[in-house]
Amino acid sequence: MLDNVAVGVIVSTSGGKEHQGKMTLFVFLTCLVASSGGLIFGYDIGISGGVTSMDSFLSRFFPSVYKQQMADSSTNQYCKFDSQLLTLFTSSLYVAALLSSFLASTVTRMFGRKWSMFAGGITFLLGSAINGAAMNVLMLILGRVLLGIGIGFANQAVPLYLSEMAPPGLRGTLNIGFQLMITVGIFAANLINYGTASIKGGWGWRVSLGLAAVPALIITIGSLVLPDTPNSLIERGHDEEAKAMLRKIRGTEDIRDEYDDLVAASDEAKSVDHPWSNIMQRKYRPQLTIAILIPFFQQLTGINVIMFYAPLLFKTIGFGSEASLASAVITGTVNVFGTFVSIATVDKLGRRALFLQGGTQMLVSQLVVGTLIALKFGSSGVATDVTKNYASIIVLFICFYVAAFAWSWGPLGWLVPSEIFPLEIRSAGQSITVSVNMFFTFLIAQVFLTALCHLKFGLFYFFAGWVAIMTLFIEVFLPETKSVPIEEIILVWKNHWFWSKFISDEDVHVGNSESVDDRVEDA
């Protein structure tokens, strides 16, 4: 296991360390604009759950679900909303996002990060227009596919952009802007749903779906004014522009060491023709493993059961239709504020500490929620006496769970994969992360309603089991990446007790004149 001391030494062997933590106004503003790419993802996560619980929406597009819902409240609460068509509506977006992230990888690498963000914004804009105007299920699904393509592009490019722009010592803080915007998007969507649900005349859902155009416009216009990252500029042969950009974002003339790192990374990248076959090489096994497991684990925390289905879930545990949206607003607020905890601490405490603390808190909360539901609903799913107090306690523990996710697996699930790859395969690696994330988001959205029906309260224990496994995995296998310059991250793997087996000395290329052997030995 790599300890913090080792990382500290790696950092101290590379040059230009006075820039580890300097935030210039320019870098802050560019990262703020780029982060807004998270809004489209968040808005969508938050809007679907609320819309699919609106009577006017259900009765128009999913009449059988609507009839089932109107049924007597004494029927089995775990199985009430089980409809494959309804979950297909939610899930279609994720399949589109999964596939489009591979295309986005090429755009991001060949044309720069900003054009992927632009493509994401425009496609999402189109999708929101079709959805707002939907006359039938086909239009709904088509709209969602376009939204998905938009998200695939944005999630592929934004985290990379942020990690490359940020000075090493602030990389966590700035990258988590993306997750912050995701949570703001979710929260805004929850509020909007709350408002539109009460619109008389049955067209409230159109407002909810159509308003997705607002975050889409923000990232579309925003991406046009963004500069590209120095890493991407060098990768595409614009060396002088890259130097100028580096001076501007670091706020200093002294950029030689960092520039050397970037050039070394870019030379390495140029020797690689096919990032996709390249990524399969043994020396990239550590990064590839993490790029797959982190998003997989992130979804297996079960967070999206809460995010997508909070209104349905709260209905199930006895809240009325209004109260269920109100509860979703509560978890939305906790999600936003929890993210600030991460922003403030990630570059000080490090990624591992947040993962381990957050994982433990989530585990405990899930066990409590599962047990509280078990005690009331048993295995029959029938409960007649769920008091307001009892339901409030469940909501409270759901909030503990969401808060922990918001400062651990939420932001780190995007940050860590975006900072572990060498330049030559960074874009391909990020696509893998996005697609694994989307695949499991899809899977969980698709099977949740059926799973709730069969596993009942055991669903919470199921996710708790996974949280235990992933927390253990982090403890044993995840090296700390806090403050390490992005083009020197290879040294972190080279120093890890397990992952070092995969990396030979010749595989370590960094731009500093000091020999690699010395650096690794120093560390």
Q: Which residues form the interface with ligand BGC (CB under 6 A)? A: 45, 179, 182-183, 186, 298, 303-304, 307, 335, 410, 413-414, 437, 441
Q: Is 362 left (phi over 0), alpha (psi -120 to 50) or beta?
A: alpha
Q: How far is the CB of 162 from ligand BGC (least distance, A)?
A: 14
Specify whether the CB–CB gap between 425 and 351 falls below 8 A.
no
Q: How far is the CB of 441 from ligand BGC (least distance, A)?
A: 5
Tell me the CB-side half-sphere exposure of residue 325, using CA atoms within 13 A. Answer: 20
**CB-nearer residue toward ligand BGC: 155 or 208:** 155
CA distance linking residue 155 with residue 14, whole number of Å: 30
**CB-nearer residue toward ligand BGC: 41 or 81:** 41
Q: How far is CA 17 from CA 206, 255, 257, 488, in A?
A: 52, 10, 9, 13
**CB-nearer residue toward ligand BGC: 91 or 441:** 441
Please list, in sequence order, all residues whose beta carbon lies within 8 angstroms of the beta carbon of residue 201, skipping any fewer than 6 positions away. Answer: none
Tell me the CA end-to-end span of the chain in Å, nearest whole number.
13
For 295, the 3-state DSSP assignment is helix
Helix, strand, coil percentages (3-state) for the chain, rounded to 5, are: 80, 0, 20
**CB-nearer residue toward ligand BGC: 284 or 309:** 309
Q: How far is the CB of 440 from ligand BGC (least distance, A)?
A: 9
**CB-nearer residue toward ligand BGC: 337 or 473:** 337
**CB-nearer residue toward ligand BGC: 6 or 434:** 434
C-alpha angle 470-475-479 in degrees, rounded to nearest 5: 110
**CB-nearer residue toward ligand BGC: 112 or 410:** 410
Q: How far is the CB of 442 from ligand BGC (least distance, A)?
A: 11
Please list, in sequence order, all residues whose beta carbon lies within 8 angstroms of the beta carbon of residue 136, skipping any fewer than 6 positions away. Answer: 61
Q: How far is the CB of 298 from ligand BGC (least distance, A)?
A: 6
Q: How far is the CB of 130 from ligand BGC (least distance, A)?
A: 23
Q: How far is the CB of 354 from ligand BGC (least distance, A)?
A: 13
